Amino acid sequence: MAKRRKSTDRKRPPAGFQNPRIFTPAADAVLVGGLSLIVIALLLAIGVLAPDTFSAFRSLTADDPGQTASSMSDVLRLEQLSWVVILSVMINGPHFMASYWVLYSFPNHRRRYRWSTTYMPALLAGMAVLTVILLGIASASGQEQAFNEQFAAFDQPDGADSGLLSTFWAACQQAPCFVLARGIYMLMHAVSIFYLAWHYNGQGWGMTASFCYLAGLRLDAVERRLIRSGYYAMTAVHVGWVLYYAAGEVGVLVAPEISHWVMDGILTLTVLCYLVTLPLGVHGFRRAARRTGQPVPLRAVLPWLAIFSWYLLIYIHPYFFLVLQLSHAAQYLAFPLRVEANRHSQVADAAPARRTGRLLLIYLLLVGLGYLVFELPVKLEMMDRLAIGPLEIAGLIASVVNIHHYFADGAIWKISNPEVRGQLFSHLEPLAE
């Protein structure tokens, strides 16, 4: 009898909570995907009804892969708009800094996550410093000029008969420091781009799992696989998007006469990802609702819908990747702020007004730190003295922060970890059984 009772208890659905929310149900729904779905719907409607509205914007790789940065002076870039800069400073920068706040403000995190708190940032910072030093040596010794001259001769119609690999090897011999610096720079940039695909979709799944947990809805293994298939597929779509719009690089890596076949194949796989995984996810949610007898919360579905919409938007309007960035950042910000609110609620004098004021001060601090890290380097002309331009410095810093951010988040946001659940969900009040 005892064993039977234990088995019955194991199958009993877990109790939910009296207040199943991060902040408020409306705020949660807006942040995790509701607002981004509305914005994307409006942008798509404008694109259909008034396509000339977006004609002033251009994507460097999407419109003309052969264009150079110097030829973009007469083209308006979306990130040049003042309201986009303001949104980036107010949302995108703080979301990066918030992960550092959570990672380093808990003493046990510094001990438990050695790779995230010490080893990985030291490795990335070392690679960035090495890049700057190598570029300085290359500039002082004329290696950059020698590298450019080698490839300029190769591009001439009557140039040498040597192939691309031979030309590159000769350039490496003449400009080793410059080639190594550029290699490290490009490697870090590539890792940050492809790691981003996993990060965006991993966060989306974390939102879905969290709000199912808040509602007392536990997905079984089959339902998890059905729903996560969409997130996995959108990870592949993200990678495909990067490859598709790297048209100039595709033309180098494969023969020009077959490059269009490669790009058509990427688009075909993208369409298949949507056609297959959308119904699988719908089936997963429906199966969970039928099995448990309770509805799937809208806030668990919104991140799943949003992730499909994000990639649909950037395939149609690639220069709106900033919308994806801001939507992802807005999703993220509520969770570290909830952790901080829970931590401060344990203080004896933690009145509601004091908690709100503390969260506001922390948010403003994150805004300031984000500005210093991402916006200020672009404006520092003194960076030219390091033989690397302000934009390149900003790109290098962004790669370091991005990679570390993705790596650290993989450690500190595992809902299966009881300590993480305690930090994030201590404000919840269980339903009386």
Give pLDDT tens digits for 24-58.
Answer: 999 999 999 999 999 999 988 888 888 777 776 65
CA 231 – CA 115 distance, rounded (Å)? 26
Q: Which residue has the tokens 């799944």?
A: 205
Query: Residue 362's closest CA among 102, 111, 110?
Result: 102
CA 254 – CA 262 distance, rounded (Å)? 9
Least confident of 204-218, 223-237, 335-349: 335-349
CA 120 – CA 71 distance, rounded (Å)? 38
Q: Is 217 left (phi over 0), alpha (psi -120 to 50) or beta?
A: beta
Of 74 and 47, more confident: 47
Q: Which amino acid is at 425?
A: F
Q: Which amino acid is at 184?
A: I
CA 104 – CA 110 distance, rounded (Å)? 6
Rg (alpha carbons) of the chain, rounded to whole number? 25
- φ, ψ of residue 385 to 5 degrees: the values are -70, -15
CA 389 – CA 237 distance, rounded (Å)? 32
Of 122 and 156, more confident: 122
What is the reported pLDDT for 248? 47
CA 405 – CA 3 distance, rounded (Å)? 46
**For residue 309, is pLDDT > 90?**
yes
CA 201 – CA 231 distance, rounded (Å)? 5
- φ, ψ of residue 17 to 5 degrees: the values are -130, 155
CB 303 within 8 A of CB 34: no
Distant-in-sequence, close-in-space partners of 344: CB < 8 Å, separation ≥ 6:
350, 354, 355, 358, 359
What is the reported pLDDT for 157? 52
**For residue 222, is pLDDT > 90?**
yes
CA 210 – CA 20 distance, rounded (Å)? 10
CA 186 – CA 192 distance, rounded (Å)? 10
- Residue 47, burial from CB neighbour count under 10 angstroms (0-12, 13-18, 19+): middle
CA 423 – CA 433 distance, rounded (Å)? 24
Angle (CA) 268-272-273 rounded to 5° is 115
CB count, 10 Å around CB of 334?
A: 20
Averaged confidence pLDDT in the chain: 78
What is the reported pLDDT for 132? 85
- What would the DSSP string read from start to end of 135-170? HHHHHHTTHHHHHHHHHHHHHSTT--S--HHHHHHH
CA 375 – CA 366 distance, rounded (Å)? 13
Helices (H), 346-389: 352-370, 376-379
| 3 state DSSP class of 18 | coil
User: For 73, which DSSP code?
Assistant: T
pLDDT tens digits for 157-194?
Answer: 554 445 556 666 776 777 788 888 888 988 898 888 88
**For residue 125, is pLDDT > 50?**
yes
Per-residue CA distances from 387 to 149, 152, 180, 401 (Å): 18, 21, 15, 22
User: pTM higher than 0.85, yes or no?
Assistant: no
What is the reported pLDDT for 134? 86
C-alpha torsion angle, residues 18, 19, 21, 24 (rounded to 10): 150
